[in-house]
Amino acid sequence: MKKLIFASKQSLKLKFMPYFKSCLPVIILVFFFAANLNLANAQTFNFDLQGHRGARGLMPENTIPSFLEALKLDVNTLELDVVISKDKKVVVSHEPWFNPSICLDASGNQITEESEKKIRIYEMDYAEILQFDCGSTQNPQFPKQQTQKVAKPLLEDVISTVEAYIKNNNLPKVAYNIEIKSAPKGDDTFHPTIDVFSKLVHKVIKKQLPTERVTIQSFDFRVLKYWNKHYPAFKLSALVSGGDIKNQIDKLGFTPQIYSPSFKYLDQNTVKQAQTMGMKVIPWTVNQKEEMIPLLEWGVDGIITDYPDIGMELKK
């Protein structure tokens, strides 16, 4: 009986061997494509990972806890915004007022949308600004955000805290991408004039950081023109939403080191055009992996994101 079974197995083996040999190229091809599929799913890129307002998707924006969280997530650059207080302090804040979506007033009360622009940081000393809580209220756009009571920090305190954390934890040095928040209609209302604003920011940076680790960005081209003329050693980034790149650079009057558009209006031709003009391309604010990958395949030089934890998965 055993001999019969053995003979049957042998005969089956001989019977199907020609079919196996004929299918071998197909099998190899399937394995090849499967291997490449896994490689594609795990593809990584060299790029500047910038934590938008620190790690806004995970921690209260533009706060020291947010910047420290971004450091833990292997960012190359901390992106942040600055405004000016009445006592001429450089405050880290996206708006020159208190956003009612994320801030409570000095008494812990909700700020209304009708009153937000009346509570101007430029009309308050920093001691008053410290009384506002801009971390306990979760930003409704970011359900993963961890809340905690925290105030808007000074730029100098952000830098000193970040630099100490880097040193104490033996981390690589990061760059700072600092947006000056200004607009022509805001002069002497929401912020000082561009020359005063710029001098205050420059004073803080010069005291604490080497020039090569800082980029100044702005939607307000007056800022970029001022820094290009008075502080030419600094890298500058032109923030734009959409529009024709040539017209934008012509309006600026010089070619900055970085072109930073909304990713929603960016295409591969514009990436190549900007890089041909001598600019790096760093779009904002890209929060989904499926949005990041095409941009990186086009060859963008960096990504600004609220979720550096997602961006770090794509870094080499």
Cα of first residue to Cα of last residue in the chain, in angstroms, is 61
Among 238, 224, 230, which residue's Cα sits nearest to residue 280?
A: 238
What is the C-alpha to C-alpha distance for residues 97 and 83, in angstroms, rounded to an integer?
A: 9
What is the C-alpha to C-alpha distance for residues 239 and 244, in angstroms, rounded to an integer?
A: 13
209: its two tokens: 């950081």
Q: How many CA atoms lie within 13 A of 51 on its CB side?
A: 32
Instruction: Give the long-range contacts of residues 191-196, CB within 8 A, separation 24 or more.
Output: 191/83, 191/84, 191/96, 191/122, 192/84, 192/122, 194/220, 194/222, 194/223, 194/226, 195/226, 196/84
pLDDT in tens, 84-131: 999 999 999 999 999 999 999 999 999 999 999 999 999 999 999 999
pLDDT in tens, 215-260: 999 999 999 999 999 999 999 999 999 999 999 999 999 999 999 9
The single residue listed with the structure tokens 């209220």 is 137
pTM of the model: 0.88
pLDDT in tens, 125-151: 999 999 999 999 999 999 999 999 999
pLDDT in tens, 152-166: 999 999 999 999 999
In the predicted structure, residue 2 carries a pLDDT above the cut 80: no
What are the φ and ψ backbone dihedral angles of 97, each rounded to 5 degrees? Answer: -145, -170
pLDDT at 41: 55
Dihedral over Cα of 263, 266, 268, 273: its sign: negative
175: its two tokens: 């760059």
Question: How far from 121 is each of 65, 106, 117, 300, CA to CA, in Å?
Answer: 21, 13, 9, 35
pLDDT at 99: 97
Burial tier of 43 (Cβ tally within 10 Å: 0-12, 13-18, 19+): exposed
What is the C-alpha to C-alpha distance for residues 106 and 85, in angstroms, rounded to an integer?
A: 16
Burial tier of 269 (Cβ tally within 10 Å: 0-12, 13-18, 19+): exposed
Helix or strand (DSSP H, E) at 31: helix 2-41
In single-letter form, the type of residue at position 307 comes to: Y
pLDDT at 88: 98
Question: How far from 186 is each of 12, 97, 165, 190, 241, CA to CA, in Å?
Answer: 86, 12, 35, 5, 20
